[in-house]
Amino acid sequence: MPGYKAPQDTIPAAVRTAAVLARILSDGFASGTRANVTATAPSSWMAARLTSAVRSDLKRAADAIAPGLPEDLLMLGLTSWVQLFGVLSFELFGQFNNVIDAHAEYFGQQMELMADLLGYQ
């Protein structure tokens, strides 16, 4: 939620999952095992629409948790991370009831879509 400030004592636990995400992205980027983010369709969207303020935030975050990680890749990573948490939340709170019966397959396809977005084939 825009403007929400998490209690300070919750920050260390919240950062752990972001650090894992950053390590996965950094390792993939450094090893060259992922596709070039600049070759993806979302990259052209980001180049045209990411504001300088958001790009600055992404650079600051990357410098703190994954030095050398391009801001565009961090944006895609955060998008995928939010998607993962969203799908889990929907599942846990019954939002898919009477909509999705093939829960495991749906989850798997969502994660495959996010892997494709990140350039992991």
In a domain, 21, yes or no: yes
Q: Is residue 1 part of a domain?
A: no
Domain-located, residue 64: yes
Q: Global pTM? A: 0.78
The tens place of each residue's pLDDT in the chain, 121 residues long, gives 678 888 888 888 888 888 888 888 888 888 877 655 555 566 667 777 888 999 999 999 889 888 888 888 888 889 999 999 999 999 999 999 999 999 999 999 999 998 888 877 6
Domain extent at residue 14: 8-118
Domain count, the chain: 1
Whether residue 52 is contained in a domain is answered as yes
In a domain, 100, yes or no: yes
Residue at 3 is within a domain: no
Radius of gyration in angstroms for the set of CA atoms belonging to the chain, rounded to a whole number = 16
In 10 A of CB 118, how many CB atoms? Answer: 21
Q: Is 2 a member of any domain?
A: no
Contact 72, 46 (CB under 8 A): yes
